[in-house]
Amino acid sequence: MKNQQSKSYLQKTGFLCHSHKDRELAIGLQQWLKEQGMDLYIDWQDASMPETPDATTASRIRSVIRGADVFLFLATKDSMTSRWCPWELGFADGVKRDEQIAIIATRDASGNYYGNEYLQLYRRIDQNSAGNSLSWYQKGSQLPQSLRSF
């Protein structure tokens, strides 16, 4: 959501809800989605954010969530225990349609699956059955769809 020119060039804009501890995952996802035609906002890349989170942080996050085409929740061990992530998801749930929200569920090295709690409510982005790329799934569906059609 850098500017209107960026939005018209890239088909969609997204807000990434994630733990800052998952920085590498966030960057990788941002790059991959950019290749798919989505401009993904990551709060710690925003120079207008205050150094220490405060009311300005919350206000800016609300504004960006409202303006984004989609809201993506990167469900990891750290985001599931974050103070900010549940607040962001709750806010998005109140201002976005269900089809504008997706959960990106992850598994850790031990096979623990994060994001189960939310998978039934929203679309999800996950590895396709071949395991070679990400796809999105309608809530309750096991049929993968291209992220370009998200």
Give pLDDT tens digits for 128-150: 666 566 777 777 777 777 766 66
User: Long-range contacts: 83-90, Cβ < 8 Å, 24+?
Assistant: 84/17, 84/53, 85/17, 85/18, 85/19, 87/58, 88/15, 88/17, 88/61, 89/17, 89/118
Domain residue extents for the chain: 4-149
Question: What does 129-144 look like in DSSP terms, one character per residue?
Answer: TTSSSEEEE-TT----
pLDDT at 76: 93
Pick the CATH number of 4-149 from 2.60.120.380, 3.40.50.300, 3.40.50.10140, 3.20.20.100: 3.40.50.10140
Asked whether the whole model's pTM tops 0.75, one would answer yes
Q: Given a cut of 90, is residue 59 above it in pLDDT?
A: yes
How many Å apart are CA 23 and CA 143, to the nearest integer?
Answer: 29
- Give pLDDT tens digits for 99-131: 899 999 888 888 888 887 777 789 888 776 665
Show the tokens assigned to 81.
């225990």
